[in-house]
Amino acid sequence: MKIAMGSDHGGFALKEHIKETLTAKGHEIVDCGTDSTESCDYPIFGEAAARKVASGECERGIVVCTTGIGISIAANKVRGIRCALCSEPLSAEMTRRHNDANMLSLGAGMTGNNMADRIVEVFLSTEFEGGRHARRVGELDAIEG
């Protein structure tokens, strides 16, 4: 799977860990930055990763900042993005099954490497259920105007 990734300085180490793990599993990663722990602004990198997903260049996206909140808000500003902040695997499963989330947000200050690995694994392997949920996702998309 081709996956866009982005982080700010607070999420850099976790992004790099996830990138290494996913590359080892055969996924193609498009790294939208940042490339260091030097202070930077999360909206830039959340938007960059989201645009790769929204355009279809990447199938899914993963963004990381210290809490996961700000960068998820940035990603969700891009039309066509449904980015969910998840701190445990059940939320990652349900947001794929019911919301067809195409991006995952993680908080590096809240989620350790092992938990992040499991959340990402579940997020990437869970399929959208469709059915009544497809109608609701359509309603979400209609809000974008």
Residue corresponding to tokens 């449904």: 82
Based on DSSP, count helices (H) and strands (E) in the chain, helices before strands: 6, 5
Per-residue pLDDT at 70: 98
What is the pTM (predicted TM-score) of this model?
0.98
**Is 98 in the active site?**
yes
Sheet holding 2-7, edge to edge: 28-31, 2-7, 60-65, 103-107, 83-85
In angstroms, the CA 145 to CA 31 distance is: 29
Of 89, 92, 95, 33, nearest to 65 by C-alpha is 33
Domain range annotation of the chain:
2-143
Specify the CATH architecture of the domain 2-143: 3-Layer(aba) Sandwich (3.40)
Per-residue pLDDT at 115: 98
pLDDT for residue 29 is more than 80 = yes
What does the pLDDT look like over 33-79, one tens digit per residue?
A: 999 999 999 999 999 999 999 999 999 999 999 999 999 999 999 99
Of 110, 136, 121, 140, nearest to 62 by C-alpha is 121
**Is 65 in the active site?**
yes
Look up residue 105 and give its DSSP letter: E
In the chain, the percentage of residues whose pLDDT exceeds 90 is 99
pLDDT for residue 145 is more than 80 = no
Please identify which of the residues 58, 65, 83, 86 carries the catalytic annotation. 65
Please identify which of the residues 27, 40, 98, 133 carries the catalytic annotation. 98
